[in-house]
Each structure stands twice: as structure tokens, then as C-alpha cells.
Amino acid sequence: MMRLPSFDVAIPRTMPELLENLRPNGLGVKIMAGGTDLLVNMKQGFHISRRLVWPGRIEELRHINTQIGGEISIGAMATLSDVAASDVVKTSYPSLSKAVLSIATPAVRNRATIGGNLCLDTRCYFYNESEFWRSSLGGCLKLNIPTHGTGDVCHSAPGNAMCSAVSSSDSAPILLALGASVEIQSAQGKRIVPLSDFYANDGMRFLNLATGELLKRIILPVSRYGLRSAHNKVRSRQSVDFPLANVGIAGVVEDGRVFTYLRIYVGAIQSAPIRVPSAEALLNGREATTVLIEKGAEEAASCVKPIQNVGGTVGYRKRMVAMLVKRTLVQLLTSARD
Ligand SMILES: Cc1cc2nc3c(=O)[nH]c(=O)nc-3n(C[C@H](O)[C@H](O)[C@H](O)COP(=O)(O)OP(=O)(O)OC[C@H]3O[C@@H](n4cnc5c(N)ncnc54)[C@H](O)[C@@H]3O)c2cc1C
Ligand code: SF4
């Protein structure tokens, strides 16, 4: 049986108290939101934190509303169930509601948060295993095993100098396609950055988030007139599973057949969701025939670089990217305005 290591939990009631608790103090402080990923990872021995900070009592982190300028603001501690059920989200961006409903199960979504989903640890089948299983191979670039130390090799791609563990968030690609930003707060102040700048394509340092910083809220811009968007994923088990590939696409359809302002993001393949500008350029401004859509989908698949580190083969995941991009573009063409 895998046991959780011992730790204490701080439950601040105000933002200043929370930020004070996040200051580095030698205890390896971690934010615990819903804990649906963090606690599993702690059981498997990835994080050695002696203090978890749970911001769940801070009301301002759970809001979902429309701001005076028309942007939508979603507090990082809003649960996935709340985001999916929100009338604000369903009215302006139903594709986000649908993406969130594809995550895990109702019980997990009642606990898991949108902030935790955006900050989800990267995954790899040499990493997301029990310590007993992992110790047979020894550590890797991302993983230090107490009995074996940190490895200096990537078991998935032995020649690689960098870890390519996979960004598996199902909300990130669609939020990126919709042009979301995030507000990040620490005791030193706040900054608002495009969500695209929040991610780095590095399996070990995949978030641009410094020690002591918290993802406070997600901001969705006012929707461009006529914007349509959709999210799709493939997974091994349709009932509940992490994505083997997912896509989030947003764009305007002019005269019912010409894409403009397309933003195409592919997730669950590399360590960050990947934008594919060459596929966007191929599709934008031209009549979206079946042949053009297929070319755009193939171009997107040729831009992403999976390695053999989650389920499915490299070739299969590339085929699935082409299929998902094609399916999603067709949905955009045939759907009503999002
Ligand atoms: C059975 C099962 C199925 C799953 N299926 C999917 C799936 O299909 N798709 C998918 O995307 N995910 C899936 N997940 C993973 C996970 O449940 C979700 O991603 C969930 O949204 C994580 O949110 P959380 O609030 O529980 O995060 P936590 O586990 O609390 O935290 C995750 C990480 O984010 C950090 N963090 C959390 N909030 C913040 C914040 N506000 N600021 C800074 N850092 C923060 C934590 O320190 C931790 O490192 C699944 C999990 C399980 C158990
Ligand atoms: S991609 Fe390589 S370095 Fe990263 S977790 Fe997997 S085996 Fe380790």
C-alpha cells in the first residue's frame, strides 16, 4: 500500500495570510487546490513537502463573473464542476465548459480546480509509477529516487538532454486558443501574463511561476464577433482518462466557409500545449474545402513531436492530432457561433 508522507496543512482565510504562507520557509511549501493530482503524486513520492497550503476558504479565489469591460474572470479555486455549470461560461464560451467536462469523473471534478488543472504536473509513464516500479530503472532527469538519486538520463529518449514529460491539461489548449491571460500574485505584487507565456516546453520547469507565486485567476477576453471554438481529445478509456492528444481551436468563419483569426493549439503531446502557426496560415483566408482542411490537419500533425512516454505509439498520436484538428475544424464550420 502506498502511504502519504506526513505534512501539515495551513488554511489561510485572507489573501495576505495566504501570500505570507507561500513565502519560502524551508518546508518545501506546496499549494494544494483540490489535491486530486498533488496527493497522488505525493503518495508516489514525487514531492517532498512538509507543508501544504489550502486556499479553499478564500472566497475571492472561487468567483466566476463578467467584469465591467466584458472580460470573464475565473478564480483559480473555482472547481471544474462550477466552471462547467457556470452560465457565464456556458453563454460566452461553451467550448470551455465542454473541455472541462471531459476531465476525469464527476467526483473528481467536484473537488479539482481550474487553477490546479492549468498547473497540473507533466506526465510520463516512466515517472507516474510507484516508487517500487521506478526504482528498478533508477531515477531520470525529472525524478530523484531517494534510494537511487537523480538520474542523468531520459528513459523515454536516452539521447535527450531535456525531459519531455507531457502537459496533460484538458483546459489549457482551449483557454490558449481563446486568448486567455492569467493573473499571478505573490507577496511582492501581481502580474498579468498571456497564458501562452505561462507555459514552457520543458517537462521539469513547465510553468513560469516563481516560488511564492500563486495563479490567482484566469481572464478570458471579450469574444470577437462571430468567434467559434471547440475542444476535442482522444484517450485510452472514453469513460475517464488523461488525453493521449487534445486540441483547442478558435476562429471566425466568414460567409459560412472561410476561416479567419484561427488559433490552433495541440496539447498532451509535448511539455506545453503547442501552437501551430503554419497550419493556421495555410487555412486562414481561404475557402475551407475538404482538401484544405485535410492539408491543415496534416500540417498541424507534422509540427508536433511526441516521444514514446505516454500511452499510444508516436505514430498513432500524430495520426490522432491530424484527426482531431480535422474533426474540430469541421465542427467549427458546421456549428453555430460560440
Ligand atoms: C482519475 C483521474 C482522472 C483524471 N483525468 C484527467 C483528465 O482527463 N484531464 C486532465 O486534464 N486532468 C485529469 N486528472 C488530473 C487532475 O485531477 C486535474 O487536472 C485537476 O484539475 C487538478 O486540479 P486540483 O485542484 O486537484 O490540483 P492539485 O492536485 O491540488 O494541484 C496540482 C498542481 O498544481 C499546483 N497548484 C494548484 N493550484 C494552484 C494555484 N492556484 N497556483 C499555483 N499552483 C497551483 C499544485 O501545487 C500542484 O502542483 C485526473 C485525475 C484523476 C485522479
Ligand atoms: S520524459 Fe524522460 S526525463 Fe522526463 S519523466 Fe520521462 S523518462 Fe524522465
Instruction: Check pLDDT > 80 for residue 182.
Output: yes
Domain stops at, among 57, 73, 99: 57
Range(s) of the domain holding residue 17: 1-57
What is the CA(169)–ligand 1 centre distance, in A? 8
- Looking up residue 21, the CATH number of its domain turns out to be 3.30.43.10
Examine residue 144 and state whether it is found in any structural domain, yes or no.
no
Least confident of 63-67, 131-135, 304-308: 131-135
What's the number of domains the chain is made of? 2
Examine residue 86 and state whether it is found in any structural domain, yes or no.
no
For residue 271, what are the contacts with CB-CB under 8 A and spacing of at least 6? 122, 163, 164, 165, 166, 167, 200, 201, 202, 203, 206
What is the CA(138)–ligand 2 centre distance, in A? 11
Q: What is the mean pLDDT of the chain?
A: 94
Examine residue 116 and state whether it is found in any structural domain, yes or no.
no
DSSP 159: T
Distance CA 165, CA 46 (A): 14
Residue keyed to cell 521506478: 134
* CB 166 less than 6 A from any atom of ligand 2: no
Distance CA 215, CA 202 (A): 19
Examine residue 29 and state whether it is found in any structural domain, yes or no.
yes
Q: Residue 336: pLDDT band by 50, 70, 90 thresholds?
A: low
Distance CA 51, CA 22 (A): 10
At CA 217, angle to CA 214 and CA 223, rounded to 5? 150
Distance CA 74, CA 32 (A): 18
Instruction: Check pLDDT > 90 for residue 37.
Output: yes
Please state the three-class secondary structure of 172-185 as a single string: HHHHHHCCCEEEEE
Amino acid found at 87: D
Residue 46's pLDDT is: 82
Least confident of 63-77, 99-113, 131-145, 285-299: 131-145
Distance CA 338, CA 332 (A): 9
Q: Residue 150: pLDDT band by 50, 70, 90 thresholds?
A: low
**Residues facing 34 on adjacent strands:** none
Residue 10's pLDDT is: 96
Instruction: Check pLDDT > 90 for residue 303.
Output: yes
Residue with the bigger pLDDT between 233 and 337: it is 233
Domain stops at, among 33, 57, 81: 57
Show the cell assigned to 305.
513531436
Domain stops at, among 10, 25, 57: 57
- Looking up residue 272, the CATH number of its domain turns out to be 3.30.390.50
Examine residue 37 and state whether it is found in any structural domain, yes or no.
yes
Residue 149's pLDDT is: 59
Instruction: Check pLDDT > 80 for residue 169.
Output: yes
CB-based contact 249:242 (threshold 8 Å): no
DSSP 16: H
Instruction: Check pLDDT > 80 for residue 48.
Output: no
For residue 193, what are the contacts with CB-CB under 8 A and spacing of at least 6? 181, 182, 184, 208
Residue with the bigger pLDDT between 196 and 256: it is 196
Show the cell assigned to 218.
484566469
At CA 220, angle to CA 215 and CA 221, rounded to 5? 135
Q: Residue 36: pLDDT band by 50, 70, 90 thresholds?
A: very high
Examine residue 3 and state whether it is found in any structural domain, yes or no.
yes
Task: Note the helical H segments in the chain.
Answer: 15-22, 38-43, 80-85, 87-92, 94-101, 106-111, 114-118, 131-135, 172-177, 195-198, 277-283, 290-303, 314-334
Q: What are phi and psi of 199, to 5 degrees?
A: -105, 145
Residue with the bigger pLDDT between 167 and 46: it is 167
CA distances 30 to 52, 53, 79, 107, Å, are 5, 6, 19, 23
Ligand 1 environment, Cβ below 6 A:
30-38, 40, 76, 80, 103-104, 108, 112-113, 115-117, 119-121, 168-170, 214-215, 240-242
Distance CA 330, CA 335 (A): 8
**Over residues 265-281, mean pLDDT:** 98
Residue nearest to atom 47 of ligand 1 (CA): 31
Helix (H, G, I), strand (E, B) or coil at 114: helix
Helix (H, G, I), strand (E, B) or coil at 330: helix
Residue keyed to cell 498571456: 194
Examine residue 203 and state whether it is found in any structural domain, yes or no.
no
Q: Residue 145: pLDDT band by 50, 70, 90 thresholds?
A: low
Choose one of 44, 129, 136, 141 to mutate for the ligand 2 pocket test, by most ligand atoms within 8 angstroms of C-beta: 141
Show the cell assigned to 151.
538520474
Examine residue 222 and state whether it is found in any structural domain, yes or no.
no
Q: Residue 147: pLDDT band by 50, 70, 90 thresholds?
A: low
Residue nearest to atom 2 of ligand 2 (CA): 154
Instruction: Check pLDDT > 80 for residue 297.
Output: yes
* CB 207 less than 6 A from any atom of ligand 2: no
